[in-house]
Structure 1
Amino acid sequence: MTTYAALLRGINVGGNKKVPMAELRTLLQGLGYGGVATYLQSGNAVFTSDHGDEQSLAAEVGQAIEKRFGFTVDVLVRDHAYLKAVREACPFPAAELEAKQLHVTYFSGPVDAERFASLDQPAFLPEEFRLGDRALYLYAPDGLGRSKLGETLARPRLLKGIVATSRNWNTVVKLEELTGA
């Protein structure tokens, strides 16, 4: 059995795309997954499965959500090894920062620096970002809600053709811990 985290994008935000966590747990159990748990209300679930891979599991969860709730939700599924590698590869001093200052955006596939080449990164200082393996690390000293760089990085033209969903550092750490238990 492999333990995975499902990262749902854009649910339970501003009253849109409501997915109660109890119903999400029931839905995942109905798909035959074990050890199902959710974390927060923002679309984080942990489960075990002995079939499929990240991509097929994400598709299965997304289809089940659409069937149950009547709307589409982008879903990324990542295993414990990947989540641990993302945490360990953080290019910023995570232990010295507040969780609201550090975020990881998970991508559905590889992203190269060329995608962000048009950004004038020095114009956003002290905010910074670094790319990782299917991830982007964002340091925003005043938090994501006030981040001009975060807002710019979320523009559809930069994310064209790729699913992206962000988590603050506390959630990054917690999901790695929950999938490793």
Structure 2
Amino acid sequence: MGSYAVFLRGINVGGINIKMADLREALNACGFPDALTLLASGNVVLTSSLGAAVVKRECEKCLRAAFGYEAWVVVLDAGRVAELVEACPYPDDDRSTHTYITLSSDTAVLDELETAGAALDGAEQKRLGPEALAWLAPAGGTLDSPFSKITAKARFKSATTTRNLRTLVKVRDAAAALNTA
């Protein structure tokens, strides 16, 4: 039985509103009885005997059926989330910057984002692995930051989602608690 973190793309923004209790109920009904939601931005931890790729496919199918939208998720082994948190060289947050990690289910897409970010003047980013890219944004200006605008492009939505480092710490901790329950 594996523990997974499931990160939904684009919910509770842009008109796709899903209550976390409804999300949990839908995932429970689709074969993930211990699914636990965190925060209101589409973070889930769960256990499954299925591999990560199958969990991704089943979660997307479930969300599309239950909520009627083009659902995309990134699924990572819970242990990998812990490794990414530890590998991030940036602080949780400070007065001037916020740390974000863009997660991807497609290495080639993340390669493209990394190249685009590296071309930006003054952008600070670090590749954490084939599925994750850490980057900094100015406090209060995340959505206006040049790299954030790149990640928001439609061609990246099926394979990526971004979370701040504080959220990944909470997901890591919830997954660890789920494993000990």
TM range (shorter): 0.7 to 0.9
- Structure 1 residue 69, shift from structure 2 partner: 1.5
DSSP-derived class of the 1:151 partner: helix
- Structure 1 residue 141, shift from structure 2 partner: 2.8
- Structure 1 residue 121, shift from structure 2 partner: 3.8
Q: CA offsets, 1:153-173, max 9 Å, x none?
A: 44356x49x611000111011
- Look up the match of 1:69: 67
- Cα distance in structure 2, aligned partners of 1:178 and 1:149: 29
Q: Of residues 91, 96, 99 in structure 2, which corresponds to 1:102?
A: 99
Aligned length: 174
The structure-2 alpha-carbon separation of the partners of 1:117 and 1:81, relative to structure 1 and needing over 3 Å to count, comes to: same
- Look up the match of 2:12: 12
- Cα distance in structure 2, aligned partners of 1:35 and 1:99: 38
The structure-2 alpha-carbon separation of the partners of 1:64 and 1:156, relative to structure 1 and needing over 3 Å to count, comes to: closer
Which amino acid letter does the alignment assign opposite residue 4 of structure 2?
Y
Bigger Cα displacement from structure 2, 113-122 vs 5-14? 113-122
Unaligned runs of 5+ in 1: none
The structure-2 alpha-carbon separation of the partners of 1:145 and 1:25, relative to structure 1 and needing over 3 Å to count, comes to: same
Contact 1:11 1:17 survives alignment (8 Å): yes
What's the C-alpha RMSD, in Å, of the aligned pairs? 2.5
With normalisation by structure 1, the TM-score equals: 0.83
With normalisation by structure 2, the TM-score equals: 0.83
Which amino acid letter does the alignment assign opposite residue 20 of structure 1?
K
- Cα distance in structure 1, aligned partners of 2:104 and 2:87: 16
Contact 2:36 2:46 survives alignment (8 Å): yes
Unaligned runs of 5+ in 2: none
The structure-2 alpha-carbon separation of the partners of 1:85 and 1:70, relative to structure 1 and needing over 3 Å to count, comes to: same
The structure-2 alpha-carbon separation of the partners of 1:121 and 1:98, relative to structure 1 and needing over 3 Å to count, comes to: farther
Bigger Cα displacement from structure 2, 109-118 vs 144-153? 109-118
Regions of 4+ moved over 3 Å: 95-100, 111-122, 153-157
- Look up the match of 1:148: 146
